[in-house]
Each structure stands twice: as structure tokens, then as C-alpha cells.
Chain A
């Protein structure tokens, strides 16, 4: 087995051998089964299973320290799992990490570009790293320059580019070798919304061409761009589905928006009411989690009126991903003060 992988490493593009190594269901680009990573007593990743399909934008959503980066590192063959298995493009990451690395593109949140090299020099460097065949090199590089919108700036130092350009250049570098799976680790942190939209446009194009894009983010609103999401918290998956499915299906109750005066006082009052599971302030309004919004609304109005707090709009709203996340990670629907 060891001999095999060493031989393969010499020429990772030997498709015949690759086919032998591939396993798992057709169409699945990333298959993770019971993946665990422990550091001492601490389980950074605790029994995660998931499947990302070909051409899918798969979002991995959770706060810092939830286990996102650890998972991505295992999937990229940089860290070996404690137990469980993972295949990327059908190749086992534990036994053939070198081959996995040839078949993926990876872009870190720090955009690992060399700031003191020009745009072209960076592209040539990464092309060399990923052994892009010489015959394809000119077309791949002009494709990347085009994609990043860097025409006319090929000779600029990467360090002098604005964050949005850098991000697109880093993406270009990561996919020069046409990997079937691309991992993006917090790809748009620190990028302005305009550039972020352009970036996601590119990602959707790549996905349409059949590339599987695996994205981690802790920006809840960014997760909306993904086809499918898993919410990860303390190393475990707490929910999965499309953004819409998550928003409509995974909350334990319904969300009621209450516009009112003296929100602080209103929060205290409503937070203590037995029919309200959770309450939080949003500017001049409250978000209440209730069993049934329609039934709860009159009760809320009565309570506020009794205390002389004038209420405006009271209506059911669709929860945001953050609402979903909070409701799923608060074990007993307790009260956030």
C-alpha cells in the first residue's frame, strides 16, 4: 500500500491508478464519514459526516473555534484524522494525502500570495507548484488574469492590489490546475460588499462548470450564497440543508418581530413571559421566539399595553440564519437576557 502511493506520487496524473483508488458513490465530490479529530482530551471535530456533490457550493458555517478549519485541513490532507474517514474526489485523505492535494485547490483567508511578486509571477509560481502542464500554461494564466479582472495589471506587485483584486487573484492561483474540488477558507473576510458579490458570481460560475466548492465562513449572511449548508458548533453538525430549508424548517418555534418603545424594559417583561422561548433586542425592536406567532401576538400586545409601553408593528418574520443558529445551539430554549 505504501509502495503504491509512493509510485503514484511520482506521477499523480496517472488516471488509471487514480481510478483504482477512487471509491464512494458516483457524483459525490467530498464524502466524510464519522470524522473525528482530537487534540488531547479536546475533540475539535467530533463525529462529522457529510456529502458534497459535484458542482455544489457547500457551506460550512460556524463561529471561530467550532472546528471548521480543522475539518478543512483534514480534507486537504494536511492533518490526519483521529478516526473516521474522508474522501475527496474519491481519494482517501488519510492514506493518499499527496494525491488529494493534487486534486484540490485551496485558498486561505490570508490569500497566500507573495506580495513582493507581480501578478504574473505569482501565477507562474503556483502553476509550477501544481505542475500545470507547459502546453496549458499560457491559456490557464490568461484565463486567470481575465477571471480576476486584472488585465493591464499583470506587472503590478500583488501587495499593491486592493483586497478585492487580491482575493480574485488568490482564487485564480488556487484553481490554475483545474481541480475538481476547491476549498475556500473564509474567502471574503475583509472584502467590501461589491467585491464580495463579484467573487460569489465567479464561484457560482465555477460551480456551474462542475467544480465542487467547499466554503467555510462565520458570516451568517454570506452563507446565503451556498446551495447547501451545515451548521457546525463545538465540533458537531447541528443542522444541515439549503439556506431556505434551514430558515423555514429547523427552528423550534416561530419568530415574532415586535417594534416598541423602551426596548430594554420590554425585553425584561417579555423575556419572563412563559409563552416566549427567547427574546433579543434588534435596535428599536425585539425578536421573540414563540410556539405560534399568530397566537402569541395578542398576548404580547396585552403585556406591553399593561406596562404602558407603546407597541408598533407586531408580525411574524422569517428567521435569519443567525436566529436559526442561536436557537439550535442554545440547548434548552433558555433566555438570552
Chain B
């Protein structure tokens, strides 16, 4: 490792980035756009689900119950109807996504202390919003039920009632404020997985394509110097991008930041090393820019999106898939970031995930360096 040659590579790379409008766009615009797209796309679409109400009893109590749906910001009550037929038609036409039906014996059964079934009819064509709608519905119902239970117990003279625990822990979508807070750290991790890999995936392939590699490999520069010289500028850029995303999250989306900065920076550096090495590796293997960048998207976007716990909680995946998620570096970073932002967990409690990232960083850097041959055969 010779510092002059490393520096030569790094300076050259910086000049190239500076002169290439496309890479500047990727560096600045892509994280911001992705951040906003995911931030708004994932969270806001889930609010104001169009809802039909059918109250078969029309009692004081049933009206009172349905007011809870009207009050919820997750639902937009489009219409209150009188028959099943109207509900079915509305769902068929797409006028509503969901309908809630109160049975004719609602208040009678409640008064008798019997369990009451509230029917929810959900349009399942979009399973994600259907799931969300059901979860929100359940939340409304259980909070109403809890209220009833507390009132009932108080009437019996039991003043001190411990609220049931199950409510907060159901699903993370439920908590109206915290939903944004869970998504934003996930988006940061995802954006960096994609942008980081994409940035470097072009760098080696471009040199092969333009014919500059042949002259480069005929010089005394070592492959380690080439690799580090190329990654160093992107590491700085990646760090900048992550901070930009985090800042957007905190100041634009109002997500808390409860951890120490250095834990955030440490894990970010590790993760960026991972994704950059991955991009570099794909670039070496792909040998042309088109192939390398497509490989990069497939190899990072899909796993980071599906298997990191960003969209689907890992503990709800089938066991085999859960094992596979351990091979997705974004999983560790996602976990760390959520803790860093929301909980302020100390390093001692998540050192395994940080170590996981570090291991990936070391293995991938070595792999990427080894994959590159200073040869054209």
C-alpha cells in the first residue's frame, strides 16, 4: 500500500465525480427523492381509508360506538347506509375500501355481558391496505372495548384498573405518531443500500468500457490501492448522504433522534463500506456499466426492501426466510437505525448487529479486492 498511489486514485475519482452531472444527481437528488417518495408514499397512503358504516341496531350505544370510527384519522367515513346490498355494491364499485357492520343485537348483548362480533368487510385486492384497514379497525374496536371494560369494572367498585398490555404491542402501524418514526429510519437504510451500491457499481465498469483500465493496470498501482482510492471519495459522499437523509427525517418528518451521534456514525460508516464494496464487486464482475448497475439494483433494492424488515416484520416471516435475512446487511443497519432514532439504545445492547455489519464490511472488502484482477485475460 503506497499512499501516493492511493491519493492519485482518490483525487482522480473526485475530479471525475465533480465533472459528471449524472453522478452529482445520483449523489444529491436520489437520496432526497427516495426519502420523500418513501416517507410520504409509505405513510400517508395508509390514512383516510374510505369507509362505509351499516348500523343495523341504530341505538344510542351503537351510534356512540361508530363515532369512534368517524373520529379516527385513519378512516374517512364516506356514507352510512341501511342495507347489506349497498355495502356490497360500494365495495364492488370501489367507493369504499372497507365497511363496518354493527349487528342488530349490539347493545343488548353488551348489556348482558356477552361477546359481540363487529363485522368488518374489507376489499382484499390490495392486501397491504386491507391488512392496515383491519389493524386500524381492530385498534378502534379494542380501544372502545377497553373503555367499556374499565367503565364496567369501575361500576363494580374496582377503582384501580391496570390497562391491558396487549394494545400497544399489536402492530407498529397502529401507533399514530410512531408509524412515521418507524418508517423513516428504514427508508434511510434502504436509500443508502441502493445509492451506495449504485455509486460504485459504475466505477470499475466505466474504466473497462472506456479503455482506461488497460493503461491503469500496466502501472505499478496495486489492486488494493485501486479499490481504496475509488471507495474513499464515495465513503465520504455516502456519509454525507446518510446524514442528509437523517436530517430530513428529523427536521422534515419530525422523527426523534434519541441516541448518541457516534453510534449512528460508526454503524453508518460500516454499512456504507458494505454497500460500496458490494457495488465495487458487482462492477468488477459485471464489466459493463449497464450490467453492473442493474445487478446492483437487483442485489440491493429487493433484499433491502423485502428482507430487511422494512416492509414486512422479520419475526412474522417464515422461519426459512428469517434465516436468509441474516445475509442481508440492510437488516442489521435497519435495526440499528430504528434503535438509534427511536429508542436511544446503547451500543452494548445492539453490539451483535454492529458486529454483523463489521463482519460484512471486512468480508466484502476482501472479496471485492480479490475479485479484481490486474489482468485483461
A contacts B directly in the complex (CB < 8 Å)? no
Which residues of A pack against B, CB within 8 Å?
none
